[in-house]
Amino acid sequence: MRSRIWALVARQFFVMRRSPMRIAEMVYWPLLDLLVWGFLSLYLNRLGHATPLPNFVAFFLGGLILWDLLFRSQQGISIAYLEEVWSRNLLNLFVSPLSVGEFLAATILISLMKLSVSVVVMTGLAAVFYGFNIFTMGWALAPFVAELLLMGWAIGIVTTALVLRFGQGAESLAWVLAFLFQPLSAVFYPVAVLPPALRAIAFCLPSSHVFEGMRAVIRTGRVDPRELAWAAVFDVAYMAIAIAFFYRTFALVKRLGLLAKTGE
Partner 1 sequence: MPLLDVEALTKRFDHLLVVDRISFAVQKGEIVGLLGPNGAGKTTVIQMLLGLITPTAGRIRVFGLDLARHRQAILQRVNFSSTYISLPFSLTVRENLYVFARLYGVRSPSRKVDDLIEQFDLVKKANRPAKELSSGQLTRLHLAKAMVNDPELLFLDEPTASLDPDVADRIRRMLIRVRAERQLAILFTTHNLREMEQMSDRVVFLNQGHILSEGTPEALIAQYGTADLEALFLKVARGQVEEP
User: CA-CA distance, 60 to 18, in Å (whole number)?
Assistant: 35
User: Closest distance between partner 1 and the C-beta of residue 257, in Å?
Assistant: 5
Q: Rounded to an integer, what distance in angstroms lies between the CA atom of residue 129 and that of residue 180?
A: 30
Q: Which residues, at least 6 apart from 100, have a Cβ–Cβ distance to it below 8 Å?
A: 246, 247, 250
Tell me how far, at minimum, the Cβ of 11 lies from partner 1, in Å. Answer: 5
Nearer to partner 1, 226 or 254 (CB): 254
- Report in angstroms how near the CB of residue 73 gets to partner 1 at its nearest: 23
8 Å CB contact between 152 and 118: no
Nearest CA among 22, 28, 141, 119 for reference residue 68: 119
What single DSSP character describes residue 177?
A: G
The contact set with partner 1 (CB under 8 A) reads 3-4, 6-8, 10-11, 14-15, 18-19, 83, 87-99, 251, 254-257, 259-260, 263-264
CA 201 to each of CA 156, 196, 206: distance values in angstroms, whole numbers, following the listed order: 20, 9, 11
Give the shortest CB-18-to-partner 1 separation in angstroms: 7
Comparing CB distances to partner 1, the nearer of 31 and 259 is 259
